[in-house]
Amino acid sequence: MQARSSRQAPRWQRRSDARPGELLDAALEVFGERGFARARLDEVAERAGVSKGTVYLYFDSKDALFREMVRAKVGSTVTAGEHFVREFQGPTRELLVGFIHRYWEVVREAGNVRLVRLVLSELHNFPELLQFYLTEVAVRVRRVITAIVERGVERGEFRSVSPVLAARALQVLCVHLAQSQQYLRGYDDDQLTDEQVVAGIADLYLNGLIAGAERASRVGRRGSRPRHG
C-alpha cells in the first residue's frame, strides 16, 4: 500500500507567522479553561498554531501575556462603552437601557464568563494581576455606570441615590447572572433566555432609579392590586 505523499504538518509549522492578536485569542481560551496557575505558554502556542518560541517574541512572561490579553480583549470593549456614554444625547433612561444591553452582550460571551470566573476564584493568589484587572476593567466599568446615574440624578430623571452603590449593584447583577446563565442553566428548572434576563435587569434596575412622579405613574399604569375590606 502506497504511503500518503504528504502528511498534515503540525500547526506550528503551518502558522509560524501568527500575529500577536492570534496569540491573545488563544490566551483568552487557555486562561479561561485552565485558570492562570495551570495555564502554560506552550498550551497557548499550540492553540494559536505556533511554536512556544514565537510566544516569547511578543510576550516575555505569562503575566505579560495575561495583561495584554485583558487590555486587548476586555479593555477595548470598556473603551467602546466609555465612548458610547460620552456621545449619547438622548434621555438618560434610554442611555442606561442601551448600556445594559451592550454590557450584557459582553459579559455573557463564553470567554468573558470564564475570565470572570478565573478572576473571582483564583486571582486573589496573584494580587498584582487582580489589581491590574480591577483597574483596567472593573473600576472603569463602574465609573461608566456611575456617570450614567449621576447624569440622570442631575437632570431630575432619576431619584437621588448613591451613584457608586447603584453602579456596583448593576455591575454585580450583570456579571453574576451571566455566570449563572453559563454554568447553572442546564440544572435550573426555571430557565430564562438571555433576552428575558437582560430585559428583567433593565426593568428591575430602572424601577429603582426613576424619579418619583414618573415612577408612580408607571407603576399605576401597570395596575395595582385591588384593596379588599
Question: Tell me: the pLDDT tens digits for 115-141?
Answer: 999 999 999 999 999 999 999 999 999
Same fold yes or no, 10-60 and 63-221: no
The β-bridge partners of 158 are 210
CATH architecture of 10-60: Orthogonal Bundle (1.10)
Q: How far apart are CA 87 and CA 132, in angstroms?
A: 27
Task: Give the Cα separation of 229 and 219 in Å (integer).
Answer: 23
Find the farthest-apart pair of alpha carbons in the chain and give their distance in angstroms, rounded.
94
pLDDT in tens, 10-46: 443 444 445 788 899 999 999 988 999 999 999 999 9
- Give the pLDDT of residue 214: 54
Cβ distance 205 to 100 under 8 Å? yes
CATH classification of 63-221, choosing from 1.10.287.370, 3.30.70.20, 1.10.3720.10, 1.10.357.10? 1.10.357.10
Domains of the chain, residue spans: 10-60, 63-221
| The model's pTM | 0.80
